[in-house]
Structure 1
Amino acid sequence: MGKSVSVAAARLKKPSWKDPRLLIGLLLVLGSVAGVISLVGSADRTTQVFAAREEIAVGQVVTEADLAIVKVRLDDVEAGYVTVEHGLTDSSVALQRVAKNQLIPRESLGVADALDRKPVAIAMEEELPAQAVPGARVDVWISMPGSSSAFEEPQMLLPSAEIAGMTTGNTTLGSAKTTVVMVLVTNEQMPKLLGAQANKAKISVVWNPAGAVR
């Protein structure tokens, strides 16, 4: 009986700071709190980056007025986007099309001298499918005038060219609907297209659903 009382008294005795059980419990609590703080801090690590207010076309000078500021969590890919912290370079020009509300990739901006494609207007009376929108790809075919009133066999001049923009309207007499497609053309391809236009070749634009995204 005396031994049982001694054991019970030992259990009810106020623990000492040197009690290993108390130290282990304290470490577990501290570890749990630190884990929660780390998790919350990690989830709240957002970065202020720029996004396009409206669509940005290739060759367009981009200023902060064209951009909105959004908070997003980018983690390891943060270096690939234009952040508010690093700011926007003066005289930045869009080297690639940026869709509305899209974050601004660093590689999409540069200087005008870095542009390797320029928009050229192609007027056509044929209708393009609804999928042929800015950013989509088209093949440009030409038929040069022949010796008679007929045209030569069509040849593909620009494979998988990107549409920079489109406008629709009527001809001068208002009798026919005309679509003007702005197609991005490289410096190497430019003389052939301008030559075809100067020689009044028949130019056709065909939507290319398999066109590679640049």
Structure 2
Amino acid sequence: MFGRSSRQGGAELERPESPPAHRLRRPRWTDARLLVGAALVLGSTLTGAAVAGGDAGPQHWEAARDLPTGHVLTRADLKPVSAGDRPAHLSGTDPLGAAGGKGAVLVQPLRSGELVPRSALGSPGELDLRRVSVPVSAGSASMLAPGSVVDLWTVPEGAAGQDERPRPERVLESVEVARVQSVAQSAAAGRPVDVDLLVPEKGVAEVLAGLGDGEALAAVPVAGSLVAGEGEQ
């Protein structure tokens, strides 16, 4: 109430005492307001994550490996991926159904990890191609993979008594590789590698004529074409 006294002008005055100091208490997690605030922050974070996930768009499909033209598409050839809104590419939960059912073939090659465009899908009747197996030198075959696009060359044998070997001749231009047999086994045995090519029907006669006496041909990948081992770790 009143504290110490003092004299002023002969009168004794009493000083009021200072109010006691109150310590600030630390907020506790049990405080209801803090719990409500934390719940609001968590809720907004989860909502934002859900919205961000929804922006990924519908499920699309990409090639699980390199696929050549003429390949009959199967479910094992495809991997699901979220790729935003891409109506020009294969999408949905049933990729083979969206591709036109079983028996759909590729009318163009696809690289591993490439989204499947709807324009790459067709029927066997749409392909004016023939599959021709040719012997290719092991050296050039080692660069090839399904989907490689190559120029096919032959080196004619020189006539008896000629000093110079004849110049190479291009048999066919820009044909696609469908399959490559085991390069290592053929090379170890000292024989050419059998390579299947997708040849336009009108070019089959040229390829067969270029085989000559069974001598190995050279398949040279065109610039920008797929090369065996490209992109592997």
Range class of TM-score, shorter chain: 0.5 to 0.7
- Aligned partner of 1:79 in structure 2 is 87
Aligned match for 1:192, one of 206, 215, 219: 206
CA distance in 2, matches of 1:70, 1:59: 24
CA distance in 2, matches of 1:149, 1:164: 40
CA distance in 1, matches of 2:147, 2:124: 20
Residues 122 and 146 (structure 1 numbering): CA distance in 2 closer, same or farther, change over 3 Å? same
Of structures 1 and 2, the larger Rg is shown by 2
CA distance in 2, matches of 1:99, 1:127: 23
CA distance in 2, matches of 1:189, 1:202: 19
- Aligned partner of 1:46 in structure 2 is 57
- Aligned partner of 1:166 in structure 2 is 180
Q: Which amino acid aligns with 1:50?
A: W
CA distance in 1, matches of 2:195, 2:161: 26
Deviation at 1:112, TM superposition (A): 0.1
CA distance in 2, matches of 1:47, 1:181: 39
- Aligned partner of 2:218 in structure 1 is 205
Aligned match for 2:127, one of 100, 115, 127: 115
Aligned match for 1:104, one of 86, 92, 116: 116
Deviation at 1:127, TM superposition (A): 0.5
Q: Structure 1 regions of 5+ residues with no counterpart? A: 1-36
Deviation at 1:156, TM superposition (A): 0.9
Q: Which amino acid aligns with 1:180?
A: D
CA distance in 2, matches of 1:83, 1:128: 38
- Aligned partner of 2:153 in structure 1 is 141
> Contact 1:138–1:211 (CA<8 Å) still a contact in 2?
no
Q: Which amino acid aligns with 2:91?
A: T
When the two chains are superposed, the root-mean-square deviation of aligned CA atoms in Å is 3.5
CA distance in 2, matches of 1:89, 1:148: 58
Post-superposition CA distance 1:2-35 (Å, at most 9, x none): xxxxxxxxxxxxxxxxxxxxxxxxxxxxxxxxxx
> Contact 2:132–2:198 (CA<8 Å) still a contact in 1?
yes
> Contact 1:138–1:159 (CA<8 Å) still a contact in 2?
yes
**Aligned sequence identity (%):** 23
| TM-score, length of structure 1 as denominator length | 0.63
Residues 175 and 71 (structure 1 numbering): CA distance in 2 closer, same or farther, change over 3 Å? closer
CA distance in 1, matches of 2:161, 2:189: 23
Residues 108 and 101 (structure 1 numbering): CA distance in 2 closer, same or farther, change over 3 Å? same
CA distance in 2, matches of 1:124, 1:68: 33
CA distance in 2, matches of 1:129, 1:160: 15
> Contact 2:68–2:147 (CA<8 Å) still a contact in 1?
no
Deviation at 1:149, TM superposition (A): 9.6
Residues 65 and 138 (structure 1 numbering): CA distance in 2 closer, same or farther, change over 3 Å? closer
| TM-score, length of structure 2 as denominator length | 0.58
Deviation at 1:121, TM superposition (A): 1.8
> Contact 2:149–2:225 (CA<8 Å) still a contact in 1?
yes
- Aligned partner of 2:29 in structure 1 is none
Residues 159 and 148 (structure 1 numbering): CA distance in 2 closer, same or farther, change over 3 Å? same
CA distance in 2, matches of 1:209, 1:88: 30
> Contact 1:145–1:201 (CA<8 Å) still a contact in 2?
no
CA distance in 2, matches of 1:130, 1:147: 30
> Contact 1:160–1:211 (CA<8 Å) still a contact in 2?
no
CA distance in 2, matches of 1:149, 1:95: 48
CA distance in 2, matches of 1:59, 1:114: 10
